[in-house]
Every structure is written in structure tokens, then in C-alpha cells.
Amino acid sequence: MKHQLRRFLVILLLSGLALHGLTSAQEQSDSLFAVHVVQRGENLFRIALQYNLFAEQVAAANGITDSNSIVVGQRLIIPLVTAGLDQRLSHVVAAGETLASIAAAYSKSEAELISLNNLASADAIYIGQELIIVAGAAEPEVTPIEFQPTATSESSGPLPVTPPSPGGGAGHSFSRGGTMVDTFVHTVRSGDTLFEIGLRYGLTVETLVSANNLLDPGLLNVGQKLIIPGIQLPRLAHDLPAVVATFTIDPLVLETGRSTRIELLTKEPVSLSGQFLGQELRVITRDEGKRHNILLGIPMFTDKAVYPLTLELRASGDSSETIAANLQVIGGGYGYQTITINDSELLAPAVEENEIALLIEHASNFTAERNWNNSLSLPAAAAMNAVFGTLRSYNGSDYDRYHRGVDFAGAPGTSVLAAAAGRVTLVDRLHIRGNTTVIDHGWGVFTLYAHQQDTLVQPGDLVTSGQVIGTIGSTGRSTGPHLHWELWLNGVNVDPMQWVQEIFP
Ligand SMILES: [Zn+2]
């Protein structure tokens, strides 16, 4: 079992190494290690100190004979011997871990961790949570979080939760409480600047430039991977059925109105089913029953709380095994907007509800074939002038409605483009959305294009990514020409820009 744990972490670290372009010689190492990028003002002694090592140990791991020969930007292998790890204060719960497995990994008892973290029980941990392992001066604040047995629309309002920052990083969780390593990667989103990314992680622009050997700090590309130095990489303590090879959830902390991917690789073919937020999950199984993907959209008004995720694995003829984990849902950080309109313009709620019900039903269909294999492209060559998720109050009502898409301001007649390949499933004139086209991209993913002047495709048409499917207009409930663009995932309306900036699954 211990050997297996080590393999998991090595695989995780190696995927980081591949990204940073290290050589294959280092990939052959069979021990636990992290990578440290040398910063300005650092020397071998200070670096070693950060990891509770001796300078000689770091020198030996890197074949360094002259300890003065290290240079800024150099990547050093940091051997993570047990003595070093034991000094750590906290652990971020990863997919597949239980309190028992985490306790065992640090030679602690479950009771100790329950007491240190004020947990109600051993089951009361959630993925992405930062657990105190060794109490210390820098111990993170423990915030009580409400647990929800299942999601119900009747549950009481939003709860006072201080979420861990989900960041924009992909693949790894991180913790601010740690002192460790620098293989955390931030994927650049549209609009990101080095200054803002630095602010988010408490780093200077110079640190980011140096850690990533950036030649032109003003030039960032969407999707570019940046090393974020000083972010703790979680130590994994999986406790999964033996048939499971890997189990990943990305991002680890779920946001309302956004999407998460779950992937389970198994050593043998299994059939997988699961439940989350009181719903049966849609599982996409490939590779002869060994690769299982779930695309999860979190409904906008889901209460901010911790919810159980249950996955059942069934091998042919065998009894089933279960993976249980807790996932935290936090708010998406959306803005607020008050809108005042004439009574005559104020539509009866039933009109809006009927249109939403139609779209939910439509977008709950499922096509097994996937028609995209990259991030989605933008649906118009026009400036975005309204983001997804802004909570709206009409004439003093509650903030119980929100902007369900992204707006692009374009002159009337500007081309509307398919964001990915797919099959047109709806072309209709709707009361609120006006001339509307919906494209089914497969795997439960639909995009919607509203307020068009003209529609140029018919239901049943196959379209390619970037194909002109209509023109920008101001039909339906619209105050001026613009394209309103939505994305629906398994009948849940989510932020489409996440799908432009990231690759799913
Ligand atoms: Zn809009």
C-alpha cells in the first residue's frame, strides 16, 4: 500500500515535470521529490531550510559539487524524505482520501485529527479541505461548514462559509498554510495579467517572471501554464478500491454556475454510476470500460455547503464497491445588478419560467458522441460586454434571477459563429431570447445563441466550429443589438467562458 501511495505522488509530480520540460533522467527516479525553482536572493542553504533538509542533501540530489553555482530560475530536485514531510502543518484533502488514510500517512490517529480540526466525525471532511496535521503558530483558521445530506430546493438560505480560495489553478489543490513546493500551475484565463495573478497568490510580478523565465511579462496567452512558486502540493493518501488506478476531480472545490470534471481510471472494466446533489450522474465510459468521465455543472442557486458524492463501481459478476467523498460548493463570486423597467415591460414570471423549462428539457437530452476536442471558440468577433452569473433584482425584487449567459456587443448583421462542432437541435423565436439557435455538441453539452436578427441553419444541420449560423440582432427581450450566448451541461446552465478558457473533460 505504501509503495502504491508513493507511485501516485510520483506520477503527479512527473506530470508537472513534463510540463516544465525537465529531462527524462529525472523521471526515472523512484523516490518522492518536488521541484524548486531558484529565486533571487536564495542560496542552497536557505532553500534546504525551507524543506527541512540539509544543504548537502539538496546538493547530492542534484549532483551539485559547488554550492555557489546555483542560478536564479534553475530547477532543483528536492527529495521529500519523511523527516521533511513530518514538519508540515497541514494537508489538503484530495480525491480518494479518507481521514483514516490521511492519519496513517502522517502516523497520526484519527482521533487526533478530529480533535485538532474540530471535526464532527471522521466522515466530516471534504475534498479540498485543509486539515491541520501538526498544530503550530501558523495554523489555519478552522471555519465550521454546514453539511447537507442531499440538495433540496427547500433547504435554508446560503450559509456563512469562508471558502478556501479555489484559484484558477488546474489539477492540484493548494494551501496557503504550507511552506512547500512550487509545482502548482496556474492556467492563464482571458483578462489575466501577471499583476493580478501575483495578487491572487501573494506574489510579486518579478517572482512570477523569474519562476517562469518569461521574456515579455506583458505577453500572456490564454491557456498558458504558469508555475506558482511557494504553493503547497498536497501529499496524497488514497484509500480507494483496488481496481481504481486514478481518481481526479478538477477543480477540487466546486463553484455555483461553473463546471467540474471527474475522471476515474480503472485497471479492469467496471460499470460506474454515481449520485451528487440528489441527482443521478451521467457517466461517460470509454476505453473498454476503464475510463470514466463525469462532467458536472453546479446549479447557480445551490446552497454553499458540503455535499456527499457517491460512486458505485460494479465489475462483471462481482459485488459492487463504493467511493464516498464530500465535495464543497462555494459561490462563484458573481456581481449584483438592479434593473428598473416599466411595468409594461415586466413579464409575468410564468413567461420566463416556461422558457427556462423548455430549455432545461431540451438541454437534458444526451448524445453519446462528443463533437469537440478542445476548448470552445468565441461565438462572435465582438467585445464581451456582460459576464455570466450577475445576480439581478427587477424593480426591487429579490436577487433571485441571474444573467444566464455572456453578451457580445456587435453591430446588427455581425456573424454568429458555432462555438464548436455539433448538430443544430433548435431554431425558434422565443419570447425572451428572440431568434434562438441551440447546438448539441454531445456528452450533454449544448450552446445557445439568442436575440439573432437572422438564423442561417435548420434543426438537424451538422455544423463545424466557427461556422456562421446567424447574425447579431435585437429580437426578443433585448435593449439593443447583441449576442447572448449560453452553455447548458446536462440540463444545468453554467458559465460558457470556463469552456473557452479550459479544456473539458
Ligand atoms: Zn445576455
Residues 6+ apart with CB under 8 A from 216: none
pLDDT at 381: 94
Instruction: Give the model confidence (pLDDT) of 221-243 as tens digits.
Output: 887 888 877 654 434 466 788 88
CA of 293 to the centre of ligand 1 (A): 30
Q: How far is the CA of 414 from the centre of ligand 1 (A)?
A: 16
- Please name the CATH architecture into which domain 244-330 falls: Sandwich (2.60)
The better pLDDT of the pair 146, 498 is held by: 498
pLDDT band at residue 66 under the 50/70/90 scheme:
confident
Q: If you measure from the C-alpha of residue 429 to the centroid of ligand 1, how many angstroms do you get, rounded to a whole number?
A: 16
441 sits in which H/E element: strand 434-442
In the reported structure, the alpha carbon of residue 163 is separated from the centroid of ligand 1 by a whole-number distance in angstroms of 28
pLDDT for res 14: 32
- The number of residues in the chain equals 505
Give residue 346's pLDDT band: very low, low, confident or very high (50, 70, 90). low
Distance 403 CA to ligand 1 centre (A): 6
d(CA 103, CA 159) in angstroms, rounded, equals: 29
What is the CB-side half-sphere exposure of residue 497 using CA atoms within 13 A?
Answer: 19
Would the pLDDT of 72 be above 60? yes
- Span from the CA of 353 to the centroid of ligand 1 (angstroms): 16
Q: How far is the CA of 162 from the centre of ligand 1 (A)?
A: 30
From ligand 1's centre to the CA of 430, what distance in Å?
Answer: 14
Q: What are the extents of the domains in the chain?
A: 244-330, 336-501
* Contact between 208 and 199 (Cβ < 8 Å): no
| Top CATH class, 336-501 | mainly beta
Q: Is the peptide bond before 251 cis (omega within 30 degrees of 0)?
A: yes
- Confidence grade of residue 36 (pLDDT, cut at 50, 70, 90): confident
Q: Quote the pTM value.
A: 0.62
Ligand 1 centre to CA of 314 (Å) is: 43
pLDDT tens digits, residue range 367-384?
A: 999 999 899 999 999 999
Does 27 score more than 50 pLDDT? no
- 388 Cα–ligand 1 center, Å: 8
β-bridge pairing 391-394 and 401-402: antiparallel
469-498: b or e for each residue (b if 16 or more CB lie within 10 Å)? bbbbbbbbbbeebbbbbbbbbbbbbbbbbb
Distance (Å, whole) CA 454 – CA 447: 17
- Compute the chain's Rg from CA coordinates: 25
Given a cut of 80, whether residue 336 has pLDDT beyond it is: yes
Cα–Cα dist 271/254, whole Å: 25
User: For residue 157, how far is its CA from the centre of ligand 1 (angstroms)?
Assistant: 26
At 343, is the pLDDT very low, low, confident or very high (cuts 50, 70, 90)?
low
Residue 262 Cα to ligand 1 midpoint, Å, equals 29
Per-residue model confidence (pLDDT) at position 82: 40
| Centroid of ligand 1 to alpha carbon of 404 (angstroms) | 7
| DSSP string over 302-322 | --SSEEEEEEEEE-TTSPEEE
Instruction: Tell whether the model's pLDDT for residue 436 goes beyond 50.
Output: yes
Ligand 1 geometric centre to CA of 108 (Å) = 52
Residue 438 has pLDDT above 90, yes or no: yes
Distance CA 214, CA 123 (A): 44
Q: What SS3 class is residue 370?
A: coil
